[in-house]
Amino acid sequence: MKEEKFQFGQYSNENHTYYDENNEEYESFLQQTAPLIGYIVHDFNKLDESLNNAIWQIISDRTDEIGALITYKMNFSAKVDLFNRIIKSMEIGCDNEIPILNELIEKLKRCATLRNAVVHAEWYNMNEKGYTFVKLNFEKNGLKQHYWQFTPESLGKIVDLINETYFLFDTYYEQKDDLLSS
């Protein structure tokens, strides 16, 4: 997925074009991408649930309630951080590591970044090259507008990454069980 940054102008809309909803090219783009955006939302929720379950299981193997009380108001990034800290502490206590952990944590973070970009993108604010406004950032040269070029292919890759990360939990559970049984 390509990204472009533009200096924030006098007005926020200087760097994007507003497409007429009757524009055939824009309509075609929406028809191709809207279902993929839906899959990203759906599959990310499944990933979030897996993360919750992994945390809750570590906190108590007798009930999910205690873990749910801890995580119910946490955002995804905070849960990833909590999960990582709990597992790192377990690794220290066992004097061994779960080999897949770093990859799992990095992919969880990447999934969160991509999901947030897709969900919060201003889909009606695109420039002439098909770049969609995603976020503002204050950088050393001032306020920058970030645009990402979402395509059906790049959105499909996000869906694939989310599902790949979801299935990494299977490997994590196997390796965690090995760690605790050694």
Query: What's residue 19's pLDDT?
Result: 55
Q: What is the dihedral of CA 49, 100, 76, 74, to 10 degrees?
A: 90
Query: What's residue 139's pLDDT?
Result: 84
Strand partners, 4: 147
Which residues have C-beta within 8 Å of that of residue 85, sequence separation ≥ 6? Answer: none
DSSP category for residue 61: S
pLDDT in single tens digits along all 182 residues of the chain: 787 777 777 766 666 665 555 677 777 888 899 999 999 999 999 999 999 999 999 999 999 999 999 999 999 999 999 999 999 999 999 999 999 999 999 999 999 999 999 999 988 777 667 788 888 888 888 888 888 899 999 999 999 999 999 999 999 999 999 998 88
For residues 164 and 168, what is the distance between their CA atoms, to the nearest angstrom? 6
Q: Model confidence over 54-107: pLDDT tens digits?
A: 999 999 999 999 999 999 999 999 999 999 999 999 999 999 999 999 999 999
Query: What's residue 128's pLDDT?
Result: 67
Are 166 and 123 within 8 A, CB to CB? no
DSSP category for residue 106: H
For residues 140 and 22, what is the distance between their CA atoms, to the nearest angstrom? 40
